[in-house]
Amino acid sequence: MLKVEGLTKHFGGTKALNGVSLEVEKQEIVGIIGPNGSGKSTLLHNITGLYLPDKGNIWFEGTDITNLPIDKRARLGIGRTFQNLRLFKLLTVWENLLVPAIQLKKPKKEMEEQAAELLELVKLSHLKNEQAQNLSIGQQRLLEFIRAMMLDSKIVFLDEPTAGFHPNMIQTFIDTLQELNRRGKTFVIIEHNIPAIMEISTRLVAIAAGEVLMSGDPHSVHSNPEVVEAYLG
């Protein structure tokens, strides 16, 4: 579904990504772990179009999207959330979900039913008319997560999705993600919450110093001495 090959990105003299290659298959839940500054978010920014790589290529469903603008990638089916929340804070919860509506050729009723269902899934229906800025951090994260689903994204990148969550909310998030995964969605998740990422992921990728250290079954990656040394300590 997604293929990244030899992705390299510099910031001044710092090499943030050093020839990263990665493949993601449909309906996988890929967890990405690595120490701070290892290049996880930079990788995500390159795939979703916020940064353009210095070298390397990105293919999505057979199309080369390396230099495609962000909005076109989104409309192809690549959604994302941010480590630092990027909601439209002065819009209501409902309006946040319907921002992409103008770009989609779907009937109004269908869009609204989709938004209502997603709100129901994350238990935020009662807040639909609240301005996004009035939600707790956890609720804002859930809103950003379901907003990414409104485009009918085929693959969604989540950057530290459980940061700031109340423990009860983590389960709501995991349940929603697994339900959407059962319906055919693919997820790539950057997360420092190791128990959560171990529970959710079908595959774990460890990154350090801009390079992929290891990719495979979550338990084998988690216990690999090289990964432990680089990240888990």
Partner 1 sequence: MEAFLAQLTNGLIIGCIYGLMALGLTLIFGVLKVINFAHGEFYMLGAYISYVVSQMLGLHPVLGIIIAVFAVFIIGMITEKALLTPIYENKVDQKDEYALLITFGLSIFLINAALVVFGPYQMSPQPLANGVFDLGVLSVSSGRLYAVILAVILMGITLFIINKTWLGTALRAISQDRDSSTIVGIDAKALGSIAFGIGAAMAAGAGALLAPVFLVFPIMGVVPAIKSFVIIVLGSMGSVKGAIYGALMLGVIESLGVFFLSPSYRDAYSFLLLILILVFKPKGLFGGSQWNN
The C-alpha angle with vertex 39 and arms to 37 and 43, in degrees rounded to 5, equals 150
Q: Is 95 in the site for partner 1 (CB under 8 A)?
A: yes
Q: Which of 89, 171, 179, 219 binds partner 1 (CB under 8 A)?
A: 89
Per rule CB under 8 A, count of chain residues that contact partner 1: 29
Using CB atoms within 10 A of its CB, is residue 32 exposed (0-12), middle (13-18) or buried (19+)?
buried
Q: Which is nearer to partner 1, 96 or 172 (CB)?
A: 96
Q: Which of 87, 135, 142, 156 binds partner 1 (CB under 8 A)?
A: 87
- The continuous run of DSSP H or E covering 170 comes out as helix 167-182
Q: Mapping DSSP to helix (H, G, I), strand (E, B) and coil, where does residue 74 land?
A: helix
Q: Measured from the CB of residue 74, what is the shortest distance to partner 1 in angstroms?
A: 4
Q: Is 151 in the site for partner 1 (CB under 8 A)?
A: yes
Q: Which of 23, 71, 120, 217 binds partner 1 (CB under 8 A)?
A: 71
Q: Measured from the CB of residue 86, what is the shortest distance to partner 1 in angstroms?
A: 4
53 vs 59: CA distance, rounded Å: 13
By DSSP bridging, strand 78-80 and strand 155-159 are parallel
Q: Is 100 in the site for partner 1 (CB under 8 A)?
A: yes
Q: Residue 94: name the closest of 79, 75, 70, 113 by CA.
A: 113
Q: Which of 17, 32, 68, 148 binds partner 1 (CB under 8 A)?
A: 148
- Token pair, residue 221, equals 């990656």
Q: Measured from the CB of residue 50, what is the shortest distance to partner 1 in angstroms?
A: 7
Residues 31, 193 contacting (CB under 8 angstroms):
no
Q: Which of 5, 55, 61, 104 binds partner 1 (CB under 8 A)?
A: 104
Residues 215, 207 contacting (CB under 8 angstroms):
no
Residues 46, 9 contacting (CB under 8 angstroms):
yes
Phi, psi of 12 (to 5 degrees): 65, -125
Q: Is 74 in the site for partner 1 (CB under 8 A)?
A: yes
The C-alpha angle with vertex 113 and arms to 74 and 94, in degrees rounded to 5, equals 70
Q: Is 102 in the site for partner 1 (CB under 8 A)?
A: yes
Q: Is 116 in the site for partner 1 (CB under 8 A)?
A: no
Binding segment toward partner 1, per CB under 8 A, in 16-24, 86-94, 135-143, 164-172: 86-94
Taking CB under 8 A as the criterion, which residues in 157-216 touch partner 1? none
Taking CB under 8 A as the criterion, which residues in 14-33 touch partner 1? none
Sites of contact with partner 1 (CB under 8 A): 48, 50, 69-71, 74-75, 79-80, 82, 86-91, 95-96, 98-104, 147-148, 150-151
